[in-house]
Amino acid sequence: MRLSRYFMPVLKETPSEAQIASHRLMLRAGLIRQASAGIYSWLPMGYKVLRRLEQIVHEEQQKANHHPMLMPTIQSADLWRESGRYDDYGQEMLRITDRHDRDMLYGPTNEELITDIFRREVGSYKQLPLTLYHIQWKFRDEIRPRFGVMRGREFLMKDGYNFDLTKEDALHAYNRHMVTYLKTYERMGLQAIPMRADGGPIGGDYTHEFLVLADTGESEVFYDSAVTDLTLGDRVVDYDSVAECQAIMEEFTTPYARTDETHDEAIFAEVPEERRRSARGIEVGQIFYFGTKYSDALNATVQTPDGTNVPVHMGSHGIGVSRLVGALIEANHDENGIIWPEGVAPFPVAIVNLKQGGADTDRVCDELYGALTAAGLDPLYDDREERAGAKFATMDLIGCPWRITVGPRGLKEGKVELTSRRTGESEEMSPEAAIARLKELLANR
């Protein structure tokens, strides 16, 4: 992308309505604009990050044989009356009446709709196990939308639903989801810690929330610092293996880690004192096993091998995709701007031309741009006629992990400069060497 042709409306001033860094930076870097309270438009660069997160979510879900689909945003109230949640959900549900006076709603979640699809289409244990998911906009009329996309009213969520014959199978699905989520967050460059949580309106005894530690997080959390040493790394997981998924679940949930809703001082006191931590966290996902709560209410049954009909065991699993953009920035920024982890950066590398219109600088920038584009590294080329200081400030603000600076002085010796946004360290090298180095650095993207 050539910056002179892009739409990236950056702001010099700090927007006064934003209270936390991620919200300020998302506005300043031109990722989002507010449409109304808690409702945002995603401008091209913000949308690019969002799509990148969706892609990672899709890839990791499909590795576990979870099938993508798409359900509508608008749902009929009838199904929600069947489950009893039409009244329970209260004012967070946006209720709509259509021209025929039928009660509709903008979906805050999809347990009812997916269970309805299941009960119509699946009748036998032979069609199980089954996990379906979608990534779709939700609406919850939050009383206090705030912190930009972190607590919006309209927000993008991945929500998945497992259907299993037995509780045992459904608990495997639960563990399997936990592993896919750990993988997903790690690929995004985030540490999200699974913490024992409270069932809330969805209900259920088995539930974990995934929390990113950040001072601006809305949840209070308590944990054993040993949990922050755990990573999956590049372990290849066999998602069909009950033992393997369970072992990983146990590995990550054995150290104490709970949100304030389930926190227990007596159990916490057993953690060695020097490892006890209390902090704040951002909830970026949650998994639930809730048994037959919805299948009982909506009469979703399957035939067992011996011919009887039993309600199907279910769970639901959510990732806050739009909230993750904010959480990523909360966890990765400095006073100058965003520092995107390589896996999610809208552009992993920026090319800065210090003398736009200079024959040599323009030629080398064009060559770099062509070679990096051909290598699939999606460079952003700052080809504006601006002072060096202004270009650097913009690049620091938007946070590409790598920057190649091309100036007349360096070029006299055949050199450009490669700079890491995270460390600020620079190295001079030939354009060819810079291309080779970037191919290496970004090989896993």
Instruction: Report the amino acid identity of residue 421.
Output: R
Give the residue with the Cβ less far from ligand ADP, 28 or 323: 323
Give the residue with the Cβ less far from ligand ADP, 181 or 223: 181
Residue 172's binding partner among Mg ion, ligand ADP, none (Cβ under 5 to 8 angstroms by kind) is: none
- Interface positions, 195-214, toward Mg ion (CB under 5 A): none
Q: Which of 10, 6, 15 is nearest to 395 (CA)?
A: 10
Give the residue with the Cβ less far from ligand ADP, 21 or 284: 284
Closest CB 38 distance from ligand ADP, rounded Å: 7
Q: Is 259 in the site for Mg ion (CB under 5 A)?
A: no
Q: Which of 36, 109, 56, 24 is nearest to 324 (CA)?
A: 56
Give the residue with the Cβ less far from ligand ADP, 316 or 419: 316
Given the rule CB under 5 A, which of 6-14, 285-293, 305-313, 331-339 is the region that contacts Mg ion? 285-293
Closest CB 244 distance from ligand ADP, rounded Å: 25
Given the rule CB under 5 A, which of 175-183, 281-289, 383-391, 404-412 is the region that contacts Mg ion? 281-289
- Interface positions, 19-58, toward Mg ion (CB under 5 A): none
Residues lying near ligand ADP in the complex (CB under 6 A) are found at: 109, 140, 142, 151-152, 155, 157, 200, 283-286, 318, 320, 322-323
* 172 CB-side CA count, 13 A: 18
Give the residue with the Cβ less far from ligand ADP, 109 or 184: 109
- What residue number has its CB nearest to Mg ion? 286
- Dihedral sign of CA atoms 344, 346, 351, 355 in order: negative
Beta-strand pair 309-311/426-429:
unpaired
- What residue number has its CB nearest to ligand ADP? 320
| Three-state SS annotation for 161-187 | EEEECCHHHHHHHHHHHHHHHHHHHHH
Which long-range contacts link 142-147 to residues 24+ away (Cβ below 8 Å)? Answer: 142/38, 142/92, 143/91, 143/92, 145/37, 145/38, 146/19, 146/38, 147/19, 147/20, 147/22, 147/23, 147/216, 147/326
Closest CB 63 distance from Mg ion, rounded Å: 24
Give the residue with the Cβ less far from ligand ADP, 289 or 402: 289
Q: Which of 165, 172, 66, 171 is nearest to 125 (CA)?
A: 165
Closest CB 149 distance from ligand ADP, rounded Å: 6
Closest CB 19 distance from ligand ADP, rounded Å: 15
Q: How far apart are CA 294 and CA 122, in angstroms?
A: 15
The CA distances from residue 404 to 334, 348, 365, in Å, are: 20, 11, 9
Give the residue with the Cβ less far from Mg ion, 93 or 395: 93
Q: Is 286 in the site for Mg ion (CB under 5 A)?
A: yes
Residue 346's binding partner among Mg ion, ligand ADP, none (Cβ under 5 to 8 angstroms by kind) is: none
Give the residue with the Cβ less far from ligand ADP, 75 or 322: 322
Q: 90: how many CB neighbours lie within 10 A of its CB? A: 10
Residue 285's binding partner among Mg ion, ligand ADP, none (Cβ under 5 to 8 angstroms by kind) is: ligand ADP
Residue 142's binding partner among ligand ADP, Mg ion, none (Cβ under 5 to 8 angstroms by kind) is: ligand ADP
* DSSP annotation of 15: P
Rg (CA), the chain: 24
Q: Which of 92, 204, 198, 247 is nearest to 154 (CA)?
A: 92
Instruction: Evaluate the omega torsion of the peptide bond into residue 431 and state whether it is cis, within 30 degrees of 0.
Output: no
Count of positions on this chain that bind Mg ion (CB under 5 A): 1
Closest CB 286 distance from Mg ion, rounded Å: 4
| Both structure tokens of 65 | 């044989």
Contact present, 354 and 408 (Cβ < 8 Å): yes
Ramachandran angles phi, psi of 169, nearest 5°: -65, -40
Residues making up the chain, counted from first to last: 445
Closest CB 364 distance from ligand ADP, rounded Å: 43
Contact present, 139 and 35 (Cβ < 8 Å): no
Closest CB 157 distance from ligand ADP, rounded Å: 5
Give the residue with the Cβ less far from ligand ADP, 320 or 379: 320
Contact positions toward Mg ion, by CB under 5 A? 286
